Amino acid sequence: LPVIDVNERRMDFVFLLQDDTYLHLEFQTTFSINDLKRFKLYDTALYDKTGRNIYTYVIYGADITKADEHLDHGSIQYRANAIYMKDYDGDDIFRRLSYKVYHQETLDDDEQLQLVFLPLMHSKKKRTELATDVVELANQVKDEKQRFQLIGTTVGIADKFLEDSYVDKMMEVFKMTRIAQKVYEDGIEEGRQEGRQEGIEVIQEAILSYLESRFDLRSNDIQHKVKSIDEMDVLKALIAKLYKAESEKHALQLIDQALKND
């Protein structure tokens, strides 16, 4: 019998829930029955490793109006529940969220989710343009912790359906914001200790948010390593490299390398 080998593949997101089951999320802008078969292999390998039940949902971009959810392979029955973002008016939601952000109103949990998923919703804009707009808007959120969580999650999700060049463009937009300017100007150019420390902490939090959203890396060991890096130049180089990391293993190697250079 052939051996199931998924070593070269990576599930988009897997969350361990409070009821000790897994929530497996996949993001798709196209549909193929082969994708469903691939998700089945993912779940089979994960169950074989952990013994936990897995519930899979596939979030489809606005271009997809219908997709198969069920595979009938005789005794093997598999279901990946479809969620269609075409049912959401991205332009209307973006206007409403923009009003709240620019009036410094707090976004609740549902609104934060809407902002993160906006690039996949139905819109008159191109997906790449909408993703860039979302990062720009997220950078205007008043609460600093919420701001960087939104940025990290948005970029982490966009990495699943946008080409690398567009993800890089989103990061360039982030670098040009007032927050990034404060990090670079106050923290580096003017060399003020207070501004420098604030800049270091901002970049550390951005790195941790991104690692959690993309690779589900949130252990105390990871947090300790990132917060042990206190050289601005090293942190700047690290965050630029992490956004291009190909895997969790690659990201961990980059962090260890940064610690040596610190």
pLDDT digits (tens, 9 = 90+) for 24-81: 999 998 999 999 999 999 999 899 999 999 999 999 999 999 999 999 999 999 999 9
State which of 63, 87, 111 marks the end of a domain.
87
Q: Give the separation between CA 82 and CA 79, rounded to whole angstroms.
A: 9
Q: Do 223 and 164 fall into the same domain?
A: no
Strand 54-60 vs strand 76-84: parallel, antiparallel, or unpaired? parallel
- The set of residues, in sequence order, having a beta carbon less than 8 Å from that of 258 and lying 6+ positions away, is 229, 234, 235, 237, 238
Q: Give the separation between CA 139 and CA 177, rounded to whole angstroms.
A: 7
Residue 218 lies in a domain: yes
Q: Do 98 and 163 fall into the same domain?
A: yes
Q: Do 172 and 97 fall into the same domain?
A: yes
Q: Report the interhelical angle of 220-228 vs 248-261 (nearest 10°).
A: 40
Q: Do 33 and 110 fall into the same domain?
A: no
- pLDDT band, residue 94 (cuts 50/70/90): very high
Taking only Cα atoms into account, the Rg of the chain, rounded to an integer number of angstroms, comes to 20
Q: What value does the mean pLDDT take over residues 94-105? A: 89
% of the chain at pLDDT higher than 70: 81
Residue 185 lies in a domain: no
Q: Do 116 and 170 fall into the same domain?
A: yes
Q: Do 94 and 168 fall into the same domain?
A: yes
Among 62, 57, 72, 77, smallest CA distance to 15 is for 57
Q: Do 44 and 75 fall into the same domain?
A: yes
Q: Do 247 and 232 fall into the same domain?
A: yes
Residue 3 lies in a domain: no
Per the structure, the count of domains in the chain is: 3
Residue 138 lies in a domain: yes
Q: Token digits for 77?
A: 């029955």
Residue 225 lies in a domain: yes
Q: Do 79 and 103 fall into the same domain?
A: no
Q: Do 103 and 170 fall into the same domain?
A: yes
State which of 87, 120, 147 marks the end of a domain.
87
Q: Could you list the residue range(s) of the whole structural domain that residue 22 is in?
A: 13-87
Residue 238 lies in a domain: yes
Residue 140 lies in a domain: yes
Residue 6 lies in a domain: no
Q: What is the dihedral of CA 59, 133, 136, 142, to 10 degrees?
A: -70
State which of 143, 176, 209 marks the end of a domain.
176
pLDDT digits (tens, 9 = 90+) for 197-210: 766 877 888 788 77
- pLDDT band, residue 1 (cuts 50/70/90): very low
- pLDDT band, residue 3 (cuts 50/70/90): low
